[in-house]
Chains A and B, each alone.
Chain A
C-alpha cells in the first residue's frame, strides 16, 4: 500500500514539474498572441486584461499604412515578406541539395582529414558572426552583392551547408553500405544506386535538414541587418527597424512577432519527429 502511495506521489511530482515548465515555455507566446489582438487601451491597461474584445488592429497596422492625409496603402511589409520567403526558401532548397551530396560523399568515401569532420563543424561555429560579417560586408560591397536577394540567398546557402552536410552524413551513415554494393556489383551505376536506393531511405533526414536550414534562414537577423538595407530587406530587419521608433505601436510589434514565428512553428509541428531526430543526429553524427 505504502509503495503505491509513494509511486503516486512520484508521478504527481513529475507531472507537476513538467506542467510548470510547459506553462513557463508557452506563457510568453500565449501572451504575445493575446497582445497582438488587443487595442492600444487594452494593451496598456493595469491590471492586464486576460479577457478582452479581440481586434485585428495590430495586423491592420502591419499590412496597411495610413498616411497623414488619410490615404491608405498596402505597406511595404508585403515586399519584405516576399523577400523573406524567396531568400529563405531558395537558400534552403539549394543548401539541402548540396549538403545531401556532400553528406553522401562524406559518409561513403574515404578522404584525407575525414576524421577532422567533427572539429570542422565545431570550428565553423566558433567564429563569431561579426568576424565573418566584417569580411562579407567588405566582399559584398566590392562584388556588388550588397542588398541583393541573390547575395542573401548565396549567404544563407553558405551558412547552412556545413550543418546540412553534417546532419545528412549522420543519416547516410545509418543506411547500410551493402545496399549500394549489391547494386554496383550488378552493374548499376553509383548515381543510380544513390538516387533509387539510398535517397528514399534518408527522406526523414532530408526533412530534418530542410527544417533546420529554413528555420535558420528565416530567423537570421545579424547578417541580414548589415547586408540588406532596402531592396533585399527581410522580415526580422524590418521588425527591428519598427522597434526603434518612438511611440511604438506594441500591438503591431506583437503582430509582427506572430507573423515571424508562425511559419516556423507550423513547420516545426509538421516535421517535429524528423527534426528532433535530426537535432540529435546533427550534433551526434555516428560515433565511429
Chain B
C-alpha cells in the first residue's frame, strides 16, 4: 500500500456532509444486510417465486395460447405423467445419459488430470491446457450446430473417415441406435475438461510433501488416487461429479440443436420433454408438474449423495 492511497476518509466539502448523512449505513448491522439484498432478491425471484408458481400451476390445466381460463384438475397432471410411456422413456434416456456421460467424463478427466500433473516440465503444457479447456466455454448452440455438420451422413467429415477406413457410413444423428451415443460423445468432448480441471484442483490441494513422498515410493496411479489424493481432494472431486450430474440431468440445448430429441424419441431427455411441453405444446400445467418431478429427483439425488459423502467422512 503506498502513501498516497492511504490518505484516509477526509474528502473535503459537500461530499463529506453528504457522506455523513449516510454514515449509518457503514454500521455493520445495516451494511451487511444492504450488501446482501441483491442475492436475496435473486433467491426470491429465481427460486422462491418459480417454485411457488410451479407447485400452483401443476394442479391446473393451463394451456397458454388458447386463452382458456385456468382449470383446477387436482392431481390429473401427475397421473398423466406417471401413465405416459414417453415420459418414462425420456427418464430412462436421461439416466443413461447422466450415468454414462458423467462416468466417462470423470474417468477420462482423472486420467488426463494425472497425466498433466505428471508432465510439469513438458514444453507447451500451458498452451495445451488452454486448448483442451476451450470446448467448455463455447456456446452450446454453436457446438450443437457444427457437430451436426461434422456428423452429417452425406458430407460429414466423420463419415468420410469412417468410409475410407471401414467402408461404411453411419447416419449418426439420424439412426435410433447411434443418436444417443453420438450425443454422448459431444457431451464428453465438452465436459471432460471440467473433470480434468477438478482433478488438477484436487491434486493441488494435496500438501506437497505427501505428493513427493508418493513419488519417491513410486506408487501406482490407483494407489496415489486412493491414498494420497482422495483424503485431501475428495471434496473437490466429489463436488465436480455432483455438479456434472446435476447439469447433465438438466441438459437440453446442445441436444436440442443437434437432434431436437429425435429420431423418434431416441435422444429425448427430460429437459427436452420439459421444454416441449411448456413451449411447443404450451401445456404449462403439465410442464410444471413434470418440472416438479424433475426437481424432486435432483434434490433427492443430491441429498443422498451429500449424506453418503458425510457418512464416509465421519467413518474415516
Contact = CB atoms under 8 A, between A and B. Distances in A.
Contact of A219 (B141, B250, B257): B141
B155 A128 contact: no
Contact of B131 (A22, A104, A215): A22
B166 interface: no
A201 B126 CA distance: 25
A142 B201 CA distance: 45
B119 A15 contact: yes
A134 B53 contact: yes
Contact of B302 (A122, A239, A240): A122
Interface string B1-16: 1000110110000000
* Secondary structure call for the B interface: helix
A16 B38 CA distance: 48
A111 interface: yes
B63 interface: no
A56 interface: no
Contacts of A261: 138-139, 142
Interface string B230-265: 000001100110110011001011000100000000
Contacts of A46: 154-155, 160
A254 B115 CA distance: 33
B279 interface: yes
Interface in A198-256: 215, 218-219, 221-222, 226, 236, 239-240, 243, 250, 253-254, 256
B291 A219 contact: no
B275 A31 contact: no
B239 A165 contact: no
Give the interface residue-count category, chain B.
35 or more
Contacts of A219: 137-141
B18 interface: no
Interface in B260-301: 270-271, 274-275, 278-279, 284, 287-288, 291-292, 294-295, 298-299
A102 B133 contact: no
B57 A134 contact: yes
Contacts of A149: none
Given A21-B112, A243-B145, A102 B150 contact: no
A284 B201 contact: yes
A203 to B, nearest CB: 14
B165 interface: no
B85 interface: no
Interface in A111-161: 111, 120, 122-139, 158-159, 161
Interface of B: 1, 5-6, 8-9, 23, 26, 28, 31-33, 35-39, 41-43, 45-47, 49-51, 53-54, 57, 111-112, 115-116, 118-119, 122, 128, 130-135, 137-142, 145-147, 149-150, 154-155, 157, 160, 164, 189, 192-193, 197-198, 200-201, 204, 235-236, 239-240, 242-243, 246-247, 250, 252-253, 257, 270-271, 274-275, 278-279, 284, 287-288, 291-292, 294-295, 298-299, 302
7 contacts: A18-B119, A48-B160, A104-B35, A131-B292, A240-B257, A253-B145, A257-B146
Given A131-B54, A197-B1, 5 more contacts: A105-B32, A108-B32, A122-B242, A131-B295, A254-B149
